[in-house]
Amino acid sequence: MEASKEFTLDELCALTDLNKRTVRYYVQLGLVDRPQGETRAARYGARQLEQLLQIRRWVQEGVSLERIRELLAGAENVVPQRQRASGSVEVWSHLLLADGVELQVEAGRAGLSPEQLRQFYAAVMDAYASVRAVQDQQ
């Protein structure tokens, strides 16, 4: 992405999957740099896009806005795993490679989109097939 690219608020919201109110709130809190210009003429750059995407990732991981402020200010970037509460629901995917060989993935906690998960499974299956092929040749 070129550094000089500018976005309207609508374009920025579409790219980050955040609503206008949330973007404005993050700017107001100082978590995101202010745009160039005001009101409808405001333009956001690649830096604001990167900031919003990072904040969105942290929020999805359960990090508080106060902790995000600390991380953006240079605090050590150690984000603890979200505590799993009793009664919480998780969706795990199971890939059966062979009898006795199974891979389990919780895509949300692993940070994988459905397409990335499919690619990961394909790569694992290819790797397993390669190992089996070498073993069968011996």
Q: Are 45 and 36 in contact (CB under 8 A)?
A: yes
d(CA 36, CA 55): 20
Contact 55, 31 (CB under 8 A): yes
Question: Residue 29: pLDDT band by 50, 70, 90 thresholds?
Answer: very high
Residue tagged 């906690």 (tokens): 109
11 versus 86: which is more confidently predicted?
A: 11
**pLDDT grade, residue 130 (50/70/90)?**
very high
The CA angle 58-106-86, to the nearest 5 degrees, is 80
Q: Which SS3 state, helix, strand or coil, does residue 95 take? A: strand
What does the block give as tokens for 65?
Answer: 């806005």
**Integer Cα distance of 130 and 137 in angstroms:** 11
Q: What is the mean pLDDT of the chain?
A: 85
Look up residue 55 and give its two tokens.
């904040």
Q: Per residue in 59-92, pLDDT tens?
A: 888 888 888 888 888 776 655 556 677 777 777 8
